[in-house]
Amino acid sequence: MSANICAVSDFIGKTWGVFPTEIREIQAGSAQCYTVETNAGKYFFKVYQEKFDRHTIQNEVAVCNFLSDKGFAVSRFLESVNHTCMETVRDRVCTLQKYIDGISVPKFQVSQPQLLDSVKVLAKLNVALEELPVQLPVRFPEEWFSAWSADAAIAKHRELLGKLDADDAYHARIAEDFAAKCRMLEAFDPDRYDFSAMTVANTHGDYNTLQLIFAENRVNAVIDFAACGKLPLCWEIIRSYTLSAAECKDAMIEPESFYAYVREYIQIRPLSKSDLALMPYFYLFTLLRSMFGYKAYVEKRCKKIAVSEKDMNALQFAFWRTAMCKWLFAHAEELSFGLTGLEA
């Protein structure tokens, strides 16, 4: 047992009064997560990313408790010996949760029946969360839009690339990606689109296959509501599809399959024509702006800090996101036109 696993085991025992017999770290995702076996049962231990504070996790716990009362299968948090669902380890919030049995399906490997059931669950979640008594944060506030400029975004990409040694193994690939993103940033004019017309409502915030537990072709449970908030529902829908559907592995969207996905959603939770029309454009805008994956890699290389497996996974994800930007930039108009024909 490694020193890190031993430390985790000791911390769980002292803090929750359950004593692990086996702990395994989960490599997927950016949080530090572990499965925990004990004589009393199986648990899930999570150390949240630095950006998640106690208030954020309080919202997650409140949302899960609310949805559980509504009959949804979601995460269940254990109280520690200090009578709280949240503790702190290495200056980060952590929780211990009941382990939920089922099938975890990797990104881009969700079958069509699983996809269609998952989007029905998303729609039902969104309907239920309309009655949530907790005020969730707005994830894309007005200043997110007003403070942005293409010139500043392009400058940030060029500045970050300038920090990376030219002989780095990934310099050429990152330079190529940044050149493509800068061209798209120069050409994309968000003022052409009335993003204020999108429906903003309570939602999961990170809904995709990595947060779903399946039982065959049906969703058995939804986990990880740490990013819950008020968000454009159209963004949650298209993002969840692209992180799950098989063809999206190649950074493209099969229109008819995606239309079927959206159609299932709007039968339960209708969307406006603006939501449907703006869906691909807003998703493209969010992807173009992000430097997730690139930034951590470059900064660690600059500081001569070892790049972890999770860092490399995030970099590969960044490559995929840029490729998806290229596809959306070329096909957003076609996709938007097809989506408006689905209006309920």
CA–chain centroid gap for 35, Å, is 20
CA–chain centroid gap for 304, Å, is 28
Select from 118, 122, 73 the least CA-distant residue to 99.
Answer: 73
Contacts of 260 (CB under 8 A, 6+ apart): 116
pLDDT of residue 139: 96
Helix or strand (DSSP H, E) at 32 = strand 32-38
pLDDT of residue 239: 98
pLDDT at 320 over 90: yes
pLDDT at 1 over 70: no
Contacts of 12 (CB under 8 A, 6+ apart): 18, 19, 20, 36, 43, 45, 96
pLDDT of residue 334: 97
Map out the domains of the chain with their CATH numbers: 3-98 (3.30.200.20), 112-340 (3.90.1200.10)
pLDDT at 343 over 70: no
Rounded to whole angstroms, what are the CA distances from 289 to 138, 276, 310?
18, 21, 21
Q: Please write the tens of the pLDDT for every residue from 29-74.
A: 678 999 999 998 999 999 999 989 999 999 999 999 999 999 999 9
pLDDT at 202 over 70: yes
Q: What is the mean pLDDT of residues 135-164?
A: 97
CA 96, CA 148: separation in Å to the nearest integer? 38
CB 197 within 8 A of CB 233: no
Helix or strand (DSSP H, E) at 220 = strand 218-222
pLDDT of residue 147: 94
pLDDT at 344 over 60: no
Q: Please write the tens of the pLDDT for every residue from 292-303.
A: 999 999 999 999
Buried b / exposed e across 156-181, counting CB within 10 Å, b at 16+?
Answer: ebeebbeebeeeeebeeebbebbeeb
Q: What is the mean pLDDT of residues 148-160?
A: 97
pLDDT of residue 127: 98
Tell me whether residue 223 is exposed, middle or buried, using C-beta atoms within 10 angstroms of its C-beta: 0 to 12, 13 to 18, 19 or more. Answer: buried
Q: Please write the tens of the pLDDT for every residue from 333-342.
A: 999 999 999 9
CB 125 within 8 A of CB 72: yes
What residue spans of the chain are helical by DSSP H? 3-16, 54-69, 112-129, 142-146, 150-162, 171-187, 233-242, 255-268, 273-289, 294-302, 309-340
pLDDT at 26 over 90: no
